[in-house]
Chains A and B, each alone.
Chain A
Amino acid sequence: AQSVTQPDIHITVSEGASLELRCNYSYGATPYLFWYVQSPGQGLQLLLKYFSGDTLVQGIKGFEAEFKRSQSSFNLRKPSVHWSDAAEYFCAVGADTGRRALTFGSGTRLQVQP
């Protein structure tokens, strides 16, 4: 069975500082990996995704993530955080067969200090 672990429940960074959100997954084959962002009271917006190829993927809003197979990780990064980045971030893994439902991590809530 696939699973996703986001070790950090809550992270606080200062505006302008760099950000890294951790994500570790467990999956038997090559995973499809996603990062979604959820602003307060809103739905989920796709930030970026990895299916194959280049292990460093670029997303919207200046985010990027790096797939490291040896570490079973897919960490999300941003060089300089903006106050509008305050939200909850979810890492998810998807299967490449069957119903292709997503398995989500428990989320990391990001707070940005002025």
Chain B
Amino acid sequence: NAGVTQTPKFQVLKTGQSMTLQCAQDMNHNSMYWYRQDPGMGLRLIYYSASEGTTDKGEVPNGYNVSRLNKREFSLRLESAAPSQTSVYFCASRPTGQETQYFGPGTRLLVL
């Protein structure tokens, strides 16, 4: 039982490049989340998915797209990376009817 896994752990991009951050959970949770963490700002919600095929914007969705093709996986895509997207990205999942979220180890992204 791996919990929430994220790949890659670290990535360097040039401005304008695209990439997809992968997240998977093996706990059969319906809800999944993408957050970004910036110094002095805590974590902020980028996107949320209540179930397979449904997504909803969070607090800071601009510049990102997401995909929830199945229950396990929730990917975050940067179509044209910008230096302002340099951050640590965390994926989380939550079982239906419970309030606790379970976090992955994070992806550290540097955009030059």
The binding surface of chain B is classed by DSSP as strand
Distance in angstroms from B3 CB to nearest chain A CB is 9
Q: How far is the CA of A104 from the CA of B103 in the complex (A)?
A: 13
The answer to the question of B74 belonging to the interface, with a C-beta cut-off of 8 Å to chain A, is: no
Q: Are A9 and B40 in contact (CB under 8 A)?
A: yes
The answer to the question of A83 belonging to the interface, with a C-beta cut-off of 8 Å to chain B, is: no
Q: Are B58 and A51 in contact (CB under 8 A)?
A: no
- In the complex, chain A residues whose CB is within 8 Å of the CB of B102: 46
Binary per-residue interface labels of chain A (88-114) against chain B in the complex, 1 for a CB within 8 Å, 0 otherwise: 001010101001111011110000000
Total of A-B residue pairs, C-beta within 8 Å: 52
Q: Which of A36-50 contact B (CB under 8 A)?
A: 36, 42-46, 49
Q: Which of A55-89 contact B (CB under 8 A)?
A: none
Question: Among B99, B104, B105, which residue has its beta carbon within 8 angstroms of that of A100?
Answer: B99
Q: Are B48 and A49 in contact (CB under 8 A)?
A: no
- In the complex, chain B residues whose CB is within 8 Å of the CB of A25: none
Q: Are A44 and B103 in contact (CB under 8 A)?
A: yes
Given A43-B90, A99-B50, A101-B58, A90-B99 contact (CB < 8 Å): no
| B interface residue numbers (CB < 8 A to A) | 31, 33, 40-45, 48, 50, 56, 58, 90, 94, 99-106
